């Protein structure tokens, strides 16, 4: 077996829709770890937002990694070190605010543990009503993960944020993104624009991705991209899946993710990752590399 590292997206991939790891999948991952395979959690989340995954897996006790904020931040558990890639500047923030106004869309500027919501007053009132009716929190759950996280409403005018901006999230309906995604990508052509879910878009600095993070992790870990098997389901996973030895799209993945994968496994609700790891550990690596699983 030549695979030395397994990389997992979280939401829609390693996690079920209840934001949990299937117990069978957990056992498969731990079996791989016992055979010396490195684990990378590659997520749009920050470190606190992934602790409920890496702590039960025991990643803190081994030579494992986090590729956070879509690859912008790497955390090395063994060395207890961070590595930070490019961030969005205050000038970028102002440009993106203008696009938010142009499309009448909410932008959430993620600055460390501070999340700044840039939205018109009319749409903010709609959010308040929606929270009352459906229980969907105003902060979309972004404050979960630690006591120091803040969700802050910005005035609806140009505001120059003085903190580094890790990424910007845009939130709207699935129908809106189906209609306007190409226009948004054109308006934001200076950035990487990634549809993470039907109602969730993320804006990153150009060239910062889970794939770029994995390349750095390879140098740290002493293995190659061809020795990685990676799993994902959304647009921010495409470069990662394309660039590794075995790229695996979940059965519930977006069609453009499936199109670039070596393997399409079962869904996140039916232990797709666990079944694929089991096949790898049973000696079926060649089949996985050639889409014969």
Give 29-47 pLDDT, tens digit per residue: 999 999 999 999 999 999 9
Residue 290: predicted pLDDT:
84
Residue 134: predicted pLDDT:
84
Q: Is pLDDT at 143 greater than 90 in this prediction?
A: no
Residue 292: predicted pLDDT:
55
What are the structural domain ranges in the chain? 5-85+208-289, 90-205
- Kindly report, residue by residue over 155-199, the tens digit of the pLDDT: 999 999 999 999 999 999 999 999 999 999 999 999 999 999 999
Confidence of residue 74 (pLDDT cuts 50, 70, 90): very high
Confidence of residue 148 (pLDDT cuts 50, 70, 90): confident
Residues of the chain with pLDDT > 90: what percent? Answer: 90
Residue 166: predicted pLDDT:
97
Q: 5-85+208-289: CATH homologous superfamily?
A: HAD superfamily/HAD-like (3.40.50.1000)
Residue 21: predicted pLDDT:
97
- Whole-number average pLDDT of the chain: 95
Residue 196: predicted pLDDT:
94
Q: Is pLDDT at 110 greater than 70 in this prediction?
A: yes
Q: Is pLDDT at 145 greater than 80 in this prediction?
A: no
| pTM to 2 decimal places | 0.92
Task: Tell me, letter by letter, the H, E, C secondary structure of the chain.
Answer: CCCCEEEECHHHHHCCCCCCCCHHHHHHHHHHHHCCCEEEEECCCCCHHHHHHHHHHCHHHCCCEEEEHHHCEEEECCCCEEEECCCECHHHHHHHHHHHHHHCCEEEEEECCEEEEECCHHHHHHHHHHHHHHCCCCCCCCCCCCCCCEEEECCCCCCCCCCCECEEEEECCHHHHHHHHHHHHHHCCCEEEEEEECCEEEEEECCCCHHHHHHHHHHHHCCCHHHEEEEECCHHHHHHHHHCCEEEECCCCCHHHHCCCCEECCCCCCCHHHHHHHHHHCCCHHHHHCCCC
Residue 241: predicted pLDDT:
98
Residue 78: predicted pLDDT:
96
Residue 123: predicted pLDDT:
93
Whether domain 90-205 has CATH 3.40.50.300: no
Q: Is pLDDT at 94 greater than 80 in this prediction?
A: yes
Q: Average pLDDT for residues 132-137, to the nearest whole number?
A: 84
- Kindly report, residue by residue over 209-265, the tens digit of the pLDDT: 999 999 999 999 999 999 999 999 999 999 999 999 999 999 999 999 999 999 999
Beta bridge partners of 44: none
Q: Is pLDDT at 293 greater than 60 in this prediction?
A: no
């Amino acid at each position: 077996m030549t695979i030395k590292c397994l990389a997992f997206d979280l939401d829609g991939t390693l996690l079920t829709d209840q934001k949990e790891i299937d117990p069978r999948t957990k056992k498969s991952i731990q079996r791989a770890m016992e055979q010396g395979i490195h684990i990378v959690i590659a997520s749009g989340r920050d470190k606190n937002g992934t602790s409920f995954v890496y702590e039960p897996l025991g990643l803190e006790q081994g030579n494992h990694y986090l590729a956070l904020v879509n690859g912008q931040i790497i955390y090395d558990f063994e060395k207890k070190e961070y590595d930070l890639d490019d961030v969005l500047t205050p000038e970028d923030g102002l440009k993106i605010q203008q696009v938010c106004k142009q499309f009448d869309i909410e932008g959430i500027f993620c600055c460390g543990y501070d999340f700044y919501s840039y939205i018109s007053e009319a749409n903010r009132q709609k959010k308040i009503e929606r929270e009352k009716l459906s229980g969907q929190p105003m902060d979309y759950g972004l404050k979960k993960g630690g006591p120091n996280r803040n969700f802050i409403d910005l005035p609806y005018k140009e505001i120059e944020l003085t903190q580094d901006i890790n990424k910007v999230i845009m939130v709207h309906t699935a129908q809106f993104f189906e209609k306007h995604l190409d226009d948004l990508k054109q308006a934001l052509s200076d950035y990487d624009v990634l549809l993470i879910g039907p109602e969730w878009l993320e804006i990153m600095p150009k060239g910062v991705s889970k794939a770029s993070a994995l390349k750095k992790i390879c140098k740290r870990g002493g293995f190659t991209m061809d020795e990685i098997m990676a799993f994902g389901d959304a647009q921010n996973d495409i470069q990662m899946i394309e660039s590794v030895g075995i790229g695996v799209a979940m059965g519930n993945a977006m069609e453009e993710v499936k199109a670039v994968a070596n393997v399409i496994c079962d869904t996140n609700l039916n232990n797709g990752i666990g079944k694929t790891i089991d096949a790898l550990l049973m000696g079926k690596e060649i089949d996985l590399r050639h889409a014969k699983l």
